[in-house]
């Protein structure tokens, strides 16, 4: 079955003033849509993989490189579809952004010392990613929380990831995600992100990951 572009779980202007309406419209309707179209086209060359869901595709796609053009690999296009589908769901209206559950807060305190320390490490990963990529908070194989970043449309599920984890929160730091509003002020965009984090979704992702499951997309 071909992948389809998921609807945004909120109106394009719902994240104002932290994420502007024009960026959301273009990011979802143009950039994400292109990844969906391109991963479907890429899968035409590997019909045996068409039955895989987007999570499983990300776990195995590194082994199916078939083009010298990065934009056409399953790793890149499948990663782009997974990453954006995940990203939309971990954001919400500013008025709906609460905090982590008691269980997640305890795990954050254990891993990082405090919520603020976790944010500092996450922000540094996002700001320090050279060029395009993502920052992630996730559950590592040993069950503890960790922060990492990945290049381009890679993610911590893929074989190429330097540090494997099940992501529970992620931030897109490609310029198309913030440049219309923040220009070259990536740290300002990163700081604004915390105002629209959907902690209910992150809590659900954490609960699933602790049981070995994946976030629902």
Condensed to tens digits (0 to 9), the pLDDT of residues 116-133 reads 999 999 999 999 999 999
Measured CA angle at 171 (ends 165, 172), to 5 deg: 115
pTM: 0.93
**Looking at residue 49, what is its pLDDT?**
84
CATH code for 21-89? 1.10.287.990
**Looking at residue 71, what is its pLDDT?**
42
**Looking at residue 46, what is its pLDDT?**
80
Rounded distance between C-alpha atoms, residue 179 and residue 80, angstroms: 18
Instruction: Mark the ranges of the chain whose per-residue pLDDT is less than 50.
Output: 66-71
Is 134 within 8 Å of 170 (Cβ atoms)? yes
Domain ranges of the chain: 21-89, 94-210
**Looking at residue 64, what is its pLDDT?**
52
Instruction: Evaluate the omega torsion of the peptide bond into residue 17 and state whether it is cis, within 30 degrees of 0.
Output: yes
**How far is C-alpha 131 from the geometric centre of its chain's CA atoms?**
16
Kindly give the interhelix angle for 102-112 and 199-210, rounded to the nearest 10 degrees. 70
**Looking at residue 123, what is its pLDDT?**
98
Give the CATH fold of the 94-210 domain: minor pseudopilin epsh fold (3.55.40)
Say which residues have a Cβ less than 8 Å from residue 186's Cβ, sequence separation at least 6: 126, 127, 173, 178
């Amino acid at each position: 079955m071909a992948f389809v572009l998921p609807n945004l779980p909120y109106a394009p202007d719902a994240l104002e003033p932290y994420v502007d309406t024009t960026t959301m419209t273009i990011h979802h309707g143009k950039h994400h849509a292109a990844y969906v179209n391109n991963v479907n086209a890429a899968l035409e060359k590997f019909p045996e993989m068409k039955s895989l869901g987007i999570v499983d595709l990300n776990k195995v796609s590194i082994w199916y490189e078939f083009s010298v053009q990065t934009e056409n690999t399953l790793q890149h296009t499948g990663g782009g579809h997974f990453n954006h589908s995940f990203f939309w769901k971990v954001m919400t209206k500013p008025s709906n952004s609460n905090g982590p559950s008691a269980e997640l807060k305890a795990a954050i305190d254990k891993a990082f010392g405090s919520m603020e320390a976790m944010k500092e490490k996450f922000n540094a990963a996002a700001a320090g990613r050279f060029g395009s990529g993502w920052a992630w908070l996730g559950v590592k194989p040993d069950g503890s929380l960790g922060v990492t970043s990945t290049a381009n449309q890679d993610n911590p599920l893929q074989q190429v990831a330097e540090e494997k984890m099940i992501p529970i929160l992620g931030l897109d730091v490609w310029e198309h995600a913030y440049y219309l509003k923040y220009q070259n002020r990536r740290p300002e965009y990163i700081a604004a992100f915390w105002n629209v984090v959907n902690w209910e979704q992150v809590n659900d992702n954490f609960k699933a990951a602790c049981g070995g499951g994946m976030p629902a997309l």
